[in-house]
């Protein structure tokens, strides 16, 4: 999944396909290969110094709590995590973490920052291409405004180091998502998480049928949602067959279709499906659909009724990205319960705390704390703060296909790390420092380590603590 970055040129004539000519295949020029990475990441980590945090309480993101823990960061990577016995690299900055907590950076699997930025005016509203229910051709990254002030709040107040920016849910196929490092840049490319696979936003339920049904178009019903989605997958399968044949045998190049390129990527397992879906019965339909057409769903987003089918989600290896306590704002959220996250966890599933909100993204740790408290009170066994941290970094990294790179404090992973000034499951706690790839991107004690967006320069409150 992670080798997407190797495609270099805009359109590459592949030497490999020359074999076809040697084998006496169809005449003509070698097949054209579609560049799968035409807007490549230009993100490069910022300089950091070797850093050792000692005497802190560490949640490693894999369910483990280390008291009097030590975390060693160097060359942008986690070098070691353990107890006081760990030695420091030469010249390392030593930080006394006594009374403080260290965790992996929080990963929000569901954000619209940059696509629905602040200020929330029509001119900047770029999250839903609500002109057709099938829009897999749009890419969220092409809407991302890197100067959205919300990024800085998510960093400084929320300890968020990585986010998936998704198109909205007006469409059955909303378009491609993009995974960003929460490091300010001049361009969206400058924030793109290197090597992260693309995602495809899909939606079921109320939104598509409301947006299009109200205009007298399909879909107007949930059965219309499913029918149109299936019909689109049938087209995608056909497109895939044509292109695979062409890439194997050469001949006339099939027509290129941006929308179908994305769906083909899903069918090939290169692009991960992030499916907005609230109700249990609809999630079950989408699971069957994924089997019908041969793709996998990485995560159901919102998944308000995940608790009703937690066993089904676990059996199919599908994550649930959920809120702690959002409820009732629409019919498909009517059956929300506060134990949704811990119940999905308890069934052996992959539970994620997500925000879908520029304010909520600043408090994901507190949302996890609420869900944890509710789970413990409901008698869910073996819950702890260290275990619940999996909902904030490990599981979202898994859903995004980047768990081999970040999401836990395992040695060799990117040093995306938060030092909290207390227990992050307390509402009285704030991030004190945040490192991304080992570079100190936020320091509560240093106003020069606080990003200020272009938009906020010269405005009232510029550079305030926010």
Partner 1 sequence: MRRLIAVMLLTTVTPAAAQTFAVVGGTVALGDGSQPIAGGTVVVRDGRIVAAGGMPMKLPAGAQVIDARGKWVTPGIVAGFSRLGLSEVDLSAQGADDTTADGPFNAALDVVPAINPLNSTVAVNRADGVTRALVAPNAGKNIFAGQGAVIDTGADMDPITAPRKFQFVELGETGSRKGGGSRASAHVLFRNALREAAELRRFTAPVSATRREVPSELERPIVRDPNESRILGPNAGRSEDVLLTRFDAAALVPVLQGRQYLLVHAERASDILQVIALRREFPSLRLVLVGASEGWTVAERIARSGIPVIASAVNDLPAAFEQLAATQSNVGRMRAVGVKVAIGMIDDNDTRFLFNQRQYAGNLVALEKLPGATGVSWGEALAMITSRPAEAIGMGGEIGSLAAGRRADLVIWSGDPLEGSSAAEQVFIDGVRQPLETHQTRLRDRYRYLPGQRDLPEAYRH
Binding-site ranges for partner 1 (CB under 8 A): 118-121, 149-150, 153, 157, 206, 210, 307-311, 324-331, 334-339, 343, 347, 358-359, 362-363, 366-367, 369-370, 372-374, 377-379, 421-422, 425-430, 444-445, 447, 455-456, 459-461, 464-466
Smallest separation (angstroms) from partner 1 to the CB of 312: 9
Do 417 and 73 contact (CB within 8 A), yes or no? yes
Compute CA distances 287 → 273, 293, 317, 341, 416, whole Å.
11, 10, 11, 20, 33
For partner 1, which is the closer residue by CB, 264 or 308?
A: 308
Q: How far is the CB of 366 from partner 1 (least distance, A)?
A: 5
Q: Please, what is the minimum distance in Å from the beta carbon of residue 395 to partner 1?
A: 19
Would you say 107 or 372 has its CB closer to partner 1? 372
Minimum gap (Å) between residue 166 Cβ and partner 1: 19
**Cα Dmax for the chain:** 72
Query: Exposure of 94 by Cβ count < 10 A (0-12 exposed, 13-18 middle, 19+ buried)?
Result: exposed
Strands 101-104 and 106-111: unpaired
Q: Which CB, 26 or 427, lies closer to partner 1?
A: 427
Taking the C-alpha atoms of residue 240 and residue 263, their distance in angstroms, rounded to an integer, is 9
Rg for the chain (alpha carbons), in Å? 23
Min dist CB 83 to partner 1, Å, is: 27
Cβ 360 to partner 1 shortest distance, Å: 10
Taking the complex as a whole, the smallest distance from the CB of residue 53 to partner 1 amounts, in Å, to: 18
Nearest to 150, CA basis, from 135, 160, 140, 136: 160
Residue ranges of alpha helices (H) inside 200-257 are 206-213, 222-249
Q: Which is nearer to partner 1, 209 or 301 (CB)?
A: 209
Minimal distance, residue 267 CB to partner 1, in Å = 31
Complex with partner 1: residue 382 or 445, whichever CB lies closer: 445
26 CB-near residues (< 8 Å, 6+ apart) = 20, 249, 250, 251
Residues 243, 153: Cα–Cα separation, whole Å: 44
- d(CA 167, CA 176) in angstroms, rounded, equals 7
For residues 252 and 464, which CB has a smaller minimum distance to partner 1 in the complex? 464
CB distance 163 to 153 below 8 Å: no
DSSP letter at 116 equals: S
Provide CB contacts within 8 A for 22, sequence distance 6+.
Answer: none
CB 120 → partner 1: shortest distance, Å? 5
Quick one: DSSP state of residue 73?
E
Q: How many CB atoms lie within 10 A of CB 233?
A: 20
Report whether 139 contacts 265 (CB < 8 A): no
Give 328 or 411: the residue with its C-beta nearer to partner 1.
328
Closest contact distance (angstroms) between CB of 309 and partner 1 is 8
**Choice between 37 and 325, CB closer to partner 1:** 325
Instruction: Report the residue number, 154 or 415, with the smaller CB distance to partner 1.
Output: 154
Q: Is 281 exposed, middle or buried (0-12, 13-18, 19+ CB in 10 A)?
A: exposed
Which of 52/156 has CB closer to partner 1? 156
């Amino acid at each position: 999944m992670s080798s997407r970055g190797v495609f270099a040129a805009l359109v590459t004539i592949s030497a490999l396909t020359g074999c076809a000519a040697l084998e006496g295949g169809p005449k003509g020029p070698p097949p054209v290969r579609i560049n799968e990475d035409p807007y490549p990441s230009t993100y490069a980590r910022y300089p950091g110094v070797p850093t050792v945090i000692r005497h802190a309480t560490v949640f490693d993101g894999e369910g483990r709590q280390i008291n009097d823990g030590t975390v060693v960061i160097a060359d942008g990577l986690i070098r070691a995590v353990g107890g006081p016995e760990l030695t420091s690299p030469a010249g390392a900055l030593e930080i006394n973490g006594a009374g403080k907590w260290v965790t992996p950076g929080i990963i929000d699997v569901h954000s619209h920052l940059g696509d629905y930025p602040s200020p929330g005016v029509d001119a900047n509203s770029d999250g839903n291409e609500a002109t057709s229910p099938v829009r897999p051709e749009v890419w969220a990254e092409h809407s991302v405004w890197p100067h959205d002030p919300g990024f800085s709040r998510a960093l400084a107040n929320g300890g968020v180091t990585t986010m998936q920016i998704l198109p909205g849910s007006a469409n059955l196929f909303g378009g491609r998502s993009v995974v960003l490092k929460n490091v300010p840049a001049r361009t969206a490319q400058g924030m793109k998480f290197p090597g992260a696979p693309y995602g495809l936003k899909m939606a079921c339920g109320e939104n598509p049928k409301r947006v299009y049904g109200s205009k007298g178009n399909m879909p107007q019903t949930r059965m219309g949602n499913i029918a149109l989605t299936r019909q689109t997958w049938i087209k995608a399968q056909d497109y895939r067959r044509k292109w695979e044949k062409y890439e194997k045998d050469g001949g006339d190049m099939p027509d290129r279709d941006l929308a179908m390129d994305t769906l083909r990527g899903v069918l090939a397992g290169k692009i991960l499906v992030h499916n907005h879906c609230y109700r249990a019965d609809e999630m079950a339909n989408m699971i069957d659909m994924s089997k019908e057409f041969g793709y996998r769903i990485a995560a159901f987003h919102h998944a308000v009724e995940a608790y009703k089918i937690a066993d089904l989600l676990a059996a199919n290896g599908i994550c649930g990205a959920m809120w702690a306590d959002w409820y009732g704002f629409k019919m498909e959220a009517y059956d929300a319960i506060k134990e949704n996250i811990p119940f999905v966890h308890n069934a052996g599933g992959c539970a994620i705390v997500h925000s879908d909100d520029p304010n909520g993204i600043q408090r994901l740790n507190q949302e996890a704390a609420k869900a944890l408290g509710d789970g413990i009170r409901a008698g869910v066994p073996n819950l702890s703060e260290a275990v619940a941290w999996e909902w904030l970094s490990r599981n979202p990294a898994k859903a995004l296909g980047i768990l081999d790179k970040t999401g836990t404090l395992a040695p060799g992973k990117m040093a995306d790390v938060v030092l909290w000034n207390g227990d992050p499951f307390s509402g009285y706690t704030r991030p004190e420092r945040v490192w991304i790839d080992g570079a100190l991107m936020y320091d509560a004690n240093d106003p020069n380590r606080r990003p200020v967006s272009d938009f906020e320069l010269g405005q009232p409150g510029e550079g305030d603590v926010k």
